[in-house]
C-alpha cells in the first residue's frame, strides 16, 4: 500500500534538529516525507527539495538570492520558487498533507505555498505567529495554525510535544485524505449571517432539493472574500450575495470590512448574481465601549462582549445603495437586487433590539433611483426572513439556472 506523502516546509539552516525530529515522527507514523528547505543563509543536506532547487525554480541561483542582501527580497524569490515546486510535486506525486514549522518568515512562505494548493488537502502551520494576526498567512484557504508556544529553537518539554502533536495530526489527516471529485451539480455561492440564516436556509434547502450544490459563507470578514475567490476560480452558476455586512463595514470602518473589491468577482466574471441588503441594519463594531467612541450617538445592540451591532441610519443605507449601484454598473452578467420592506435581519424585526420599520421604505425608494438600468430591482412587502422573501429569490434563482 502506498504511503501518504507529506510535504514538510522547514529550513535546515536554522532548524535542522527540529526538522529531523519531525521527519522521524512522520516516518514512524507511516508517511513518506518530501521536505522543502528554502534556507538562504547556508545549505545543510537532508531535504528532498533543496534551497538550490527552490531558487532555480524562481529563475535564480541561491548565490544570486543571497547577494540580494535583504531578507524580504530573498524571501520573495524563494516564495515564488517554493510555490512552483509545491504545485509541481502535488501534480506529479500527489501530496496528502502539508506541514510547516517556523517563525514569521517561515510562516509567511508556508502560508503562500499552502494558499496555492487546493482546498481539502490537509494543511497545518506550527508558528510563533499563531497567537497574533494570522489573516495574511491563512488567506481564504483551509489552513490550520497551531501555536508553537516557545520559539522554534530547539526541542524542549513543550515544543517537543507541540511538534509531535502537529506531525501526528497531519499524518492522521494524510492517511484519511481522499481528493474530492468535481461535482457535476450547478454550483451556487451564498452569503449570510446568523441573523439572516432563517431566510437563507430556506433558499439553500430549496436549491439543494433542485440538485444544486450550495456553498454558504459567513459574511463576518472572511466569508465574503472566500466566496469571491471561489467565484474567480471555479465554474459557478449563480452567486447569491444576500448579506452586505462586509461592504457596509468597509464603507464605515466596521470590523468586518474586507477591502474595496468585495463582491466584485462575480460581477466582473459575468456570473449571474442576486444581491439583497441582508444585515444592512447594522455595522459590526467591537466591544461596546469601543463602538460608542467610534460610532457616537448611535443605537447599539451588544451581540456579545466582543461584538456590537451599531444601527445604521438612512445616510449609511444610502451610501450602501450608492456603492452597490457603482458595483452593479460594471457587471458583465445579469444582476438582480431584492429589497425587503419590513426589515433586514433578526435585529431589525419586532423581536430584535434595533428594529426601525421607518428605514427600509426610503432606502428602497433611494435604491431604485440610483440603480443602473442593467439591474432588476424587486421590492417586496416582507421581512428578509419571511418565507415570501426567500421564495421570491428562489423563483428568480430557478429562472436564472433554468430549473
- The Cβ of residue 123 has, within 10 Å, a number of other Cβ atoms equal to 27
In the listed set 125, 152, 176, which residue is the last one of a domain according to the structure?
176
| Band of residue 398 on the pLDDT scale cut at 50, 70, 90 | very high
Chain-centroid distance of CA 390 in Å reads: 26
Q: So what's the pLDDT on residue 183? A: 79
One domain for residues 142 and 280: no
What DSSP string describes 248-265? Answer: HHHHHT-TT---TTTTHH
CATH of the domain at 137: 3.40.50.12020
The answer on 80 and 156 residing in a single domain is: yes
Whether residue 100 contacts residue 144, with contact meaning beta carbons closer than 8 Å, is answered with no
d(CA 379, CA 362) in angstroms, rounded, equals 12
Task: Examine the fold and report which residue of 148, 176, 204 is the final residue of a domain before the chain moves on.
Answer: 176
**pLDDT given at position 135:** 76
The answer on 225 and 138 residing in a single domain is no
Does 325 fall in a domain?
Answer: yes
pLDDT of residue 79: 96
Q: Across residues 259-268, what is the average pLDDT?
A: 96
Confidence of residue 164 (pLDDT cuts 50, 70, 90): very high
Confidence at residue 131, expressed as pLDDT on a 0 to 100 scale: 73
What DSSP designation does 94 have?
Answer: -
CB distance 145 to 125 below 8 Å: yes
Q: Is residue 347 part of a domain?
A: yes
Report in angstroms the alpha-carbon separations of 186 from 207, 392, 403: 10, 20, 10
> 277 is written with which cell numbers?
441588503
Q: Are strands 282-285 and 307-311 parallel, antiparallel or unpaired?
A: antiparallel
pLDDT in tens, 114-130: 999 999 999 999 998 88
- Give 238's contacts (C-beta < 8 A, 6+ positions apart): 186, 187, 188, 189, 271, 272, 273, 274, 397, 400, 401
Q: 128 with 209, same domain?
A: no
Longest dimension (CA), the chain: 71
User: What confidence tens digit (pLDDT) does each residue in 172-191 have?
Assistant: 999 999 988 777 899 999 99
Q: Are residues 234 and 91 in the same domain?
A: no
- Of 176, 202, 237, the residue at which a domain comes to its end is 176
Residue 357's CATH number: 3.40.50.12030
Query: In this predicted model, what pLDDT tens digit does every residue of 94-121 receive, in sequence order?
Result: 999 999 999 989 999 999 999 999 999 9
Residue 218 lies in a domain: yes
pLDDT tens, position by position, 219-245: 998 899 999 999 998 899 999 999 999
Residue 1 has pLDDT above 70, yes or no: no
All residues at 6 or more sequence positions from 115 whose CB lies less than 8 Å from its CB, including other chains: 138, 139, 140, 141, 143
> Does pLDDT of 136 surpass 80?
no
For the whole model, what pTM was predicted? 0.83
Q: Give how far Cα 80 sits from Cα of 73, 135, 184, 352, Å.
A: 11, 20, 33, 50
Question: In the predicted model, is pLDDT for residue 145 greater than 80?
Answer: yes
Same domain, 225 and 159: no
- To which residue does cell 543536506 refer? 45
Same domain, 145 and 195: no
Q: Is residue 276 one of the residues assigned to a domain?
A: yes
**pLDDT tens digit string along 14-30?**
999 999 999 999 999 99
Please indicate, yes or no, whether residues 171 and 215 belong to a single structural domain of this protein: no
What's the domain range around 36? Answer: 5-176
> Which residue intervals of 131-216 are DSSP H helices?
135-138, 159-176, 197-209
The DSSP secondary structure of 192-237, one letter per residue, reads E-GGGHHHHHHHHHHHHHTT-EEEEEETTTTHHHHHHHHHHHS--S
Is 231 within a domain?
yes
pLDDT in tens, 149-161: 998 888 999 999 9
Q: Cell for 172? A: 492522521
Q: Rounded to an integer, what distance in angstroms lies between the CA atom of residue 79 and that of residue 57?
A: 10
- Indicate if 200 and 310 belong to the same structural domain: yes
pLDDT, one tens digit per residue, over 343-371 is: 999 999 999 999 999 999 999 999 999 99
Number of domains in the chain: 2
**Residue whose C-alpha cell reads 450550495 in the numeric block:** 214
Cα distances from 305 to residues 95, 286, 289, 298, 309, in angstroms, run 42, 8, 10, 18, 11
Do 131 and 205 belong to one domain? no
- The answer to whether residue 181 is domain-embedded is no
What rounded mean pLDDT belongs to the chain?
95
Residues 230 and 161 in one domain: no
* Same-domain status, 19 and 101: yes
Beta carbons within 10 angstroms of residue 221's beta carbon = 17
Sequence-ordered list of residues with C-beta below 8 angstroms from that of 304, at least 6 positions apart, any chain: none
Q: What is the pLDDT of residue 139?
A: 79
Amino acid at each position: 500500500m502506498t504511503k501518504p506523502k507529506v510535504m514538510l516546509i522547514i529550513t535546515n539552516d536554522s532548524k535542522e534538529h527540529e526538522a529531523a525530529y519531525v521527519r522521524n515522527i512522520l516516518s514512524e507514523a507511516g508517511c513518506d516525507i518530501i521536505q522543502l528547505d528554502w534556507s538562504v543563509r547556508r545549505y545543510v543536506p537532508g531535504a528532498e527539495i533543496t534551497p538550490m532547487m527552490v531558487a532555480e525554480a524562481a529563475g535564480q541561483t541561491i548565490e544570486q538570492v543571497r547577494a540580494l542582501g535583504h531578507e524580504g527580497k530573498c524571501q520573495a524569490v524563494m516564495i515564488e520558487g517554493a510555490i512552483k515546486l509545491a504545485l509541481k510535486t502535488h501534480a506529479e506525486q500527489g501530496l496528502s498533507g502539508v506541514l510547516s514549522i517556523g517563525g514569521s518568515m517561515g510562516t509567511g512562505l508556508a502560508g503562500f505555498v499552502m494558499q496555492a494548493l487546493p482546498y481539502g488537502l490537509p494543511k497545518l502551520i506550527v508558528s510563533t505567529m499563531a497567537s497574533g494576526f494570522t489573516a495574511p498567512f491563512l488567506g481564504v484557504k483551509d489552513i490550520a495554525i497551531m501555536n508553537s508556544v516557545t520559539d522554534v529553537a530547539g526541542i524542549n518539554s513543550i515544543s517537543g510535544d507541540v511538534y509531535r502533536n502537529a506531525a501526528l495530526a497531519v499524518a492522521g489527516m494524510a492517511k484519511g485524505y481522499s481528493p474530492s471529485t468535481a461535482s457535476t451539480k450547478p454550483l451556487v455561492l451564498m452569503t449570510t449571517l446568523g441573523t439572516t440564516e432563517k431566510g437563507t436556509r430556506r433558499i439553500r434547502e430549496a436549491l439543494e432539493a433542485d440538485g444544486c450544490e450550495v456553498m454558504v459563507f459567513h459574511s463576518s470578514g472572511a466569508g465574503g472574500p472566500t466566496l469571491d475567490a471561489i467565484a474567480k476560480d471555479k465554474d459557478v452558476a449563480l452567486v447569491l450575495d444576500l448579506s452586505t455586512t462586509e461592504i457596509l463595514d468597509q464603507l464605515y470602518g466596521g470590523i468586518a470590512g474586507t477591502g474595496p473589491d468585495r463582491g466584485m468577482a462575480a460581477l466582473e466574471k459575468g456570473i449571474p448574481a442576486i444581491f439583497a441588503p441582508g444585515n444592512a441594519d447594522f455595522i459590526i463594531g467591537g466591544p461596546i465601549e469601543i463602538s460608542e467612541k467610534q460610532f457616537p450617538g448611535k443605537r447599539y445592540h451588544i451581540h456579545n462582549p466582543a461584538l456590537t451591532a451599531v444601527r445604521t441610519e438612512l445616510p449609511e443605507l444610502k451610501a450602501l445603495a450608492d456603492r452597490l449601484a457603482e458595483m452593479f454598473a460594471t457587471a458583465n452578467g445579469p444582476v438582480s437586487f431584492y429589497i425587503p420592506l419590513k426589515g433586514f435581519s433578526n435585529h431589525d424585526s419586532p423581536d430584535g433590539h434595533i428594529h426601525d420599520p421607518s428605514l427600509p421604505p426610503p432606502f428602497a425608494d433611494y435604491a431604485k433611483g440610483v440603480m443602473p438600468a442593467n439591474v432588476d430591482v424587486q421590492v417586496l412587502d416582507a421581512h428578509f426572513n419571511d418565507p415570501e422573501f426567500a421564495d421570491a429569490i428562489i423563483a428568480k434563482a430557478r429562472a436564472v439556472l433554468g430549473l
